[in-house]
Structure 1
């Protein structure tokens, strides 16, 4: 019985380690007021918004202005947009992807490895710029 228990713990530990280091692990964070859910995935904080691509793209640019982020590059087509900006010595990447005419997904990555707290602050400013 002891051998089976030890074997089970070993297999469980190995599987947990593989899952956590595979890049597939995601952490969901509830937002204030139940307005939606953020997902932190591979260094990016992701959330869908009830706003079209035009409104979302303008809100990203307004967010950059409000947070004193210097826009370096921006590109846009019908279904996707990308903006990169500088925050001190780090790059901030915004990726917008149209989910429908009234829904857009926003991905924010701060720095090469990601910064969850800074990304959440950027999402909060983005929400205020949508209004």
Structure 2
């Protein structure tokens, strides 16, 4: 019976360990996790809420959006932006000291690629 479980367990262990290497290989500003759900693309950053708010607003402007609203609290922040065609929502949530989650939604239904491009601009500014 032991032989039947050996290979599947080895494969699972290899998959889990390979995921850890991807996170360790991340840059200093990016925690390395991505999630796309219900039109929101989420990513963790090693940065403060305040610095991430500024980087997010500038990233939206870099992408051609007008920032229409910004709000800041010590544990969360928001950026709202738009152009003639679509709206952008950026939500920033404090996770732990020096770590935040940034969730971006572009358009009513969500645009994964446009959200990814804004995330890349945020990363550049952090």
Does the TM-score normalized on the shorter chain lie above 0.5? yes
Cα pair 1:94 1:108 within 8 Å, conserved: yes
What CA deviation, in whole Å up to 9, does each residue of 1:74-128 have, x standing for no partner?
1111111111100331000000001122001000000011000111111011100
Which deviates further from its counterpart, 35-44 or 91-100?
35-44
1:111 is matched with which residue? 107
> Cα RMSD (Å) of the superposition?
1.7
1:125 aligned onto 2:82: no
Q: Which one of the candidate residues 53, 60, 63 is aligned to 2:56?
A: 60
Q: How much has 1:65 moved relative to structure 2? A: 2.3
Please list every run of at least 4 consecutive aligned residues from structure 1 whose deviation after the TM superposition is greater than 3 angstroms.
Answer: none
Q: For residues 25-104 of structure 1, what are the structure 2 equivalents within 5 Å?
A: 35=26, 36-104=32-100
Aligned residues: 99
Long gaps (5+) in structure 1 = 1-30
What CA deviation, in whole Å up to 9, does each residue of 1:40-76 have, x standing for no partner?
0110000110111111111111112222210111111
TM-score normalized with structure 1 length: 0.70
CA distance in 2, matches of 1:104, 1:110: 20
Which deviates further from its counterpart, 62-71 or 42-51?
62-71
